[in-house]
Amino acid sequence: MAMYESEHTKFMREWMAKHPEEQSEQKKGRALWWDKPQSVEEQQRFREARVPVKPYYYDANH
């Protein structure tokens, strides 16, 4: 049984195979936006700052 692969995924696989130098650029971009170290204190501040979500968001009476 074959797995479905979108046209975009096929294109990106072929493009990355033809341009292997782009993998280092991709890693730099990911490090810039996503891979950020977090301290335990920072994570604790995030947990404490959370605001509870209403059970039904659009209900103005609660």
- Which two structure tokens, joined as six digits, stand for 39? 């301290």
pLDDT at 44 over 90: yes
What is the span of the domain harbouring residue 45? Answer: 7-49
Q: Is 55 helix (H, G, I), strand (E, B) or coil?
A: coil
Q: Would 38 be classed as within a structural domain?
A: yes
Q: Would 29 be classed as within a structural domain?
A: yes
Q: Would 2 be classed as within a structural domain?
A: no
Q: How far apart are CA 10 and CA 16, in angstroms?
A: 10
Number of structural domains in the chain: 1
Asked which of 20-24, 29-33, 56-60 is least confident by mean pLDDT, the reply is: 56-60
Q: Would 11 be classed as within a structural domain?
A: yes
Q: Would 60 be classed as within a structural domain?
A: no
Q: Would 55 be classed as within a structural domain?
A: no
- Binned at pLDDT 50, 70 and 90, residue 62 comes out as low
CA–CA distance from 16 to each of 20, 48, 51 (Å)? Answer: 6, 42, 42
Residues 6+ apart with CB under 8 A from 62: 54, 55, 56
Q: Would 59 be classed as within a structural domain?
A: no
